[in-house]
Amino acid sequence: MNQDKRHRNKKNDPDGLTDLIFSNAKIPWEKSKAEVWNNLEKQMERENRSTVPVRRLLPAKQWLAMAASLLLLLSVSAFMRFYTVKTYCPEGVHTSLQLPDGSEVELNASTHLAYHPYWWFISREVKLEGEAFFHVEKGKKFRVVSPQASTEVLGTTFNVFARDEDYIVTCHTGSVRLSESFTGGAVVLSPNERGQMELSGGFRVTQLENSLGSPGWTDNMIMFSSAPLRMVFEEIERQFGIVIETPDVMQQVYSGNFSLNQSVENILSLLCLPFDLEYELQTGKKYIVYPSQD
């Protein structure tokens, strides 16, 4: 049978090419399972790297992105630091407002107040021109800044009068520290003490005879103790929104009080009589005060 098979093969392949080809062929051994998985994983990694795009910022673009982020941060910080809420209480009016920490401020007539709401919890500071009564919540240092001087507290009630060259602070509860803007001189006030800045520098401190829970103007009262008479007329101007023309030289001082719930004419009569002064109404809301002719 083997002879017949060889005979047929030779008959079909007389030159013996088939035996020659397969005698020179090298058939590799079957690969192991580990080798197959290893090759498959490598192929999958190559496909993933080729299908997922990777964007790389050039160094210049990276610096540009960082600069834009920094500029945005500085812009937000500058907005928080310098954004200002301004309040003006006009003549003839009293008003009140609440600060971001719950502290309350009562503003007297013709008073400007400003503060930075978004910077408040970093620095509790208000700018004041006029007169205001403060109820300060306890917390970080609270500062009232005026052109003449500044007042610092931690938690108390106090009144600040800052108009033109006059600067007077009355401490009602707690304690306050007054500091001059130019010389740096300072003084600490205790309850029922009043500090008034002198024209020559420094503060004059006086003890109040009566304990006051709040300044008189918050109850529609004008109260003065040894105050220059010119200041009294100026306060009447603010409370009633009028103009009072007074003599150029007035050296008198006034101590007393009167209610704002009466006519301005009645107040002027009560005020002028002890100082031998008279007044008359001009056009509009202008009054002239002059020495008595008798």
Whether residue 211 sits in one domain with residue 75: yes
pTM over 0.85: no
Q: What is the number of domains present in the chain?
A: 2
Give the pLDDT confidence score for residue 88 in this predicted structure.
Answer: 96
Domain assignment of residue 24, yes or no:
no
Asked whether residue 152 falls in the same domain as residue 104, the answer is yes
CATH of the domain at 233: 3.55.50.30
Indicate if the pLDDT at residue 60 is higher than 50.
yes
Give residue 47's pLDDT band: very low, low, confident or very high (50, 70, 90): low
In a domain? residue 36: no
Largest CA distance in the chain: 169
**Would 193 be classed as within a structural domain?**
yes
| Least confident span in 32-46, 107-121, 170-184 | 32-46
pLDDT-wise least confident of 16-20, 110-114, 205-209? 16-20
Same domain, 206 and 123: yes
Q: Are residues 91 and 211 in the same domain?
A: yes
Domain boundary among 218, 249, 280: 218
| 210 within domain boundaries | yes
Percent of the chain topping pLDDT 90:
57
Average pLDDT, the chain: 84
The pLDDT score that the predictor gives to residue 3 is 47
- Position 72 confidence tier, pLDDT thresholds 50, 70, 90: confident
Q: What is the mean pLDDT of residues 196-211?
A: 88
Boundary residue ending a domain (218, 251, 277): 218
Range of the domain at 101: 70-218
Specify the range with the lowest mean pLDDT, choosing from 3-17, 34-48, 182-196, 265-279.
3-17
Q: Which of 183, 218, 253 is the last residue of a domain?
A: 218
CATH number at residue 88: 2.60.120.1440
